[in-house]
Amino acid sequence: MTIVPPFSRARAFAPGSIGNLGPGLDVLGCAVTGAGDVVTASVGGPAGIRIDQSGHRELSTDPDAHTSGIAAHEVLRRAGVSAIGVTLTIEKGLPLSGGQGGSAASAIAGAAAVNALLGAPLDASDVLRSALVAEERVAGRHLDNLAPCLLGGIILVRSVEPPNIVRLPTPRTMRVVIVHPDMQLRTADARAVLPPSVPRAIVVAQLASVAAMVSAFSDGDLARLRGAVEDHIAEPARASLLPGFLDAKAAAMEAGALGCSIAGGGPSSFAFTDGDAVAERVMAAMVAAYRASGMNCAARIAQIDDAGTRIETFV
């Protein structure tokens, strides 16, 4: 279908996110303030999607190999648009293979920017599905990063198809300490070490942890997170891939964290705290532990990003 886009350019910022949140493998996630990815979509050129800047020297400008390009193409397909050219410019604010939702942010920003460029013919559910096509190709079919990145907040994923998303309340004083060791770990590699089967006792413990976390967020009772942010399935399998993590987790808990675990598939780790003062102590303790283990790292304190993806359009 040939259309005349109402805008010449659209820009989307998609925040970073943390998937799993410990025990919530593929079903819990949150958006976090601070760093994110930006995609600018502009009308012009031959029909289809073109990328002029990939955002990082290690990322391809082939639109079929970049999550922004894949998601943008899916938006055009779902909107029934085939006769316009769109150029994407990507600015990567999130680390590659860092466990902070970088591939999801690029996919969401690409899908949202192109949808806005077309005058928003797709609703949020279809934008999410468009980004899922891209995320599935590089990281697996899951929404625990994509959904909070698009919608903001803390998200419970009840199902992927159809997307069934529950947004949980954000406790006002909760802070998220994020520590990124100087390494990369591809999501595909992190998923490859997951056990093919899990004993019933471990499944029961995992279910109890997820239920306790949902209850804590829903009631705003942060104390209920203590002992709940415990991943009995993925964390034990992935810890050996993450030098310094177990020492950093122990340091975080000793410094007063409510809970600590691997951010997504890693290598970043995160800790929840109640308030800024405790967050500062926890961050310092985790950084010291990583460095004592021989790992350089970067760290920051974030809050839950309740806004999600932001759009600007230009006539």
CATH code of the domain covering residue 45: 3.30.230.10
**Cα–Cα distance measured from residue 276 to residue 118, given in angstroms and rounded to the nearest whole number:** 42
- Domain end marker among 168, 183, 199: 168
- Give a yes or no: residue 4 inside a domain: no
Q: Are residues 160 and 184 in the same domain?
A: no
pLDDT score, position 306: 97
- Give a yes or no: residue 312 inside a domain: no
Q: Are residues 23 and 114 in the same domain?
A: yes
- Domain end marker among 168, 201, 227: 168
Q: Name the domain count of the chain.
A: 2
Q: Are residues 155 and 180 in the same domain?
A: no
- Give a yes or no: residue 138 inside a domain: yes
Q: Are residues 53 and 144 in the same domain?
A: yes
- Give a yes or no: residue 19 inside a domain: yes
Backbone angles phi, psi at 28, to 5 degrees: -120, 145
Mapping DSSP to helix (H, G, I), strand (E, B) and coil, where does residue 2 land? coil
Q: Stretch 89-97: mean pLDDT, rounded?
A: 94
**Cα–Cα distance measured from residue 235 to residue 238, given in angstroms and rounded to the nearest whole number:** 5
Q: Are residues 182 and 278 in the same domain?
A: yes
> CATH number of the domain that 250 lies in?
3.30.70.890
**Cα–Cα distance measured from residue 277 to residue 280, given in angstroms and rounded to the nearest whole number:** 5
Q: Are residues 114 and 209 in the same domain?
A: no
Q: Are residues 147 and 236 in the same domain?
A: no
Q: Are residues 277 and 194 in the same domain?
A: yes
Mean pLDDT of the chain: 95
Nearest 10 degrees: Cα torsion 145, 148, 151, 157: 90
- Domain boundaries, position 223: 174-302
- Give a yes or no: residue 128 inside a domain: yes
**Cα–Cα distance measured from residue 270 to residue 237, given in angstroms and rounded to the nearest whole number:** 17
User: Over 90: is that where the pLDDT of 118 sits?
Assistant: yes
Per residue in 42-71, pLDDT tens?
A: 998 899 999 999 999 999 999 999 999 999
Q: Which residues pair with 302 in a beta bridge?
A: 176
For residue 252 the two structure tokens come to 């975080």
Q: DSSP assignment of 214-241, as one string? A: HHHHHHT-GGGGTTTS--SSHHHHHGGG
pLDDT score, position 1: 57
Q: Are residues 123 and 75 in the same domain?
A: yes
Q: Are residues 178 and 196 in the same domain?
A: yes
- Give a yes or no: residue 292 inside a domain: yes
Q: Are residues 146 and 193 in the same domain?
A: no
Per residue in 249-283, pLDDT tens?
A: 999 999 999 999 999 988 999 999 999 999 999 99
Burial class (CB in 10 A: 0-12, 13-18, 19+), 248: buried
Q: Which residues pair with 314 in a beta bridge?
A: 9
**Cα–Cα distance measured from residue 43 to residue 117, given in angstroms and rounded to the nearest whole number:** 8
Q: Are residues 181 and 145 in the same domain?
A: no
Per residue in 284-302, pLDDT tens?
A: 999 999 999 999 999 999 9
pLDDT score, position 173: 96
- Domain end marker among 168, 196, 222: 168
Report percent pLDDT > 70 for the chain.
Answer: 99
Residue 238's identity, in one-letter code, is: R
Contacts of 186 (CB under 8 A, 6+ apart): 97, 265
**Cα–Cα distance measured from residue 291 to residue 288, given in angstroms and rounded to the nearest whole number:** 5
| Inter-residue contact 299 to 289 (CB < 8 Å) | no
- Give a yes or no: residue 289 inside a domain: yes
- Give a yes or no: residue 57 inside a domain: yes
- State the pLDDT confidence band at 23, using cuts at 50, 70 and 90: very high
Backbone angles phi, psi at 300, to 5 degrees: -155, 165
